[in-house]
Amino acid sequence: MTVQPPPGHRFGRYLEEFTVGDVYKHWPGRTITQADDMLFCMLTMNHHPLHIDENYGKSTQFGQNVVVGNLVMDIALGQSVPDISGKAIANLGFEKVEFLGPTFHGDTIYSESEVLEVRESRSQPDRGIVTVETRATNQRGQMVMRYRRSVMVPRRPQEG
Q: Is residue 160 part of a domain?
A: no
Q: What CATH number does the domain containing 102 carry?
A: 3.10.129.10
Cα separation, 10 vs 79, in Å, equals 14
pLDDT of residue 129: 97
Looking at the predicted structure, is the pLDDT value of residue 2 above 90?
no
Q: What pLDDT, on a 0 to 100 scale, did the predictor assign at position 157?
A: 86
Q: Is there a domain that residue 99 lies in?
A: yes
Q: Which residues contact 106 (CB under 8 A, 6 or more apart)?
A: 31, 32, 33
Residue 11: pLDDT band with limits 50, 70, 90: confident
Query: 31-49 pLDDT, tens per residue?
Result: 999 999 999 999 999 999 9
Count other Cβ atoms within 10 Å, centred on residue 98: 13
Amino acid at 21: G
What does the pLDDT read at residue 8?
65
Number of domain units in the chain: 1
User: Which residue range(s) make up the domain with 62?
Assistant: 15-154
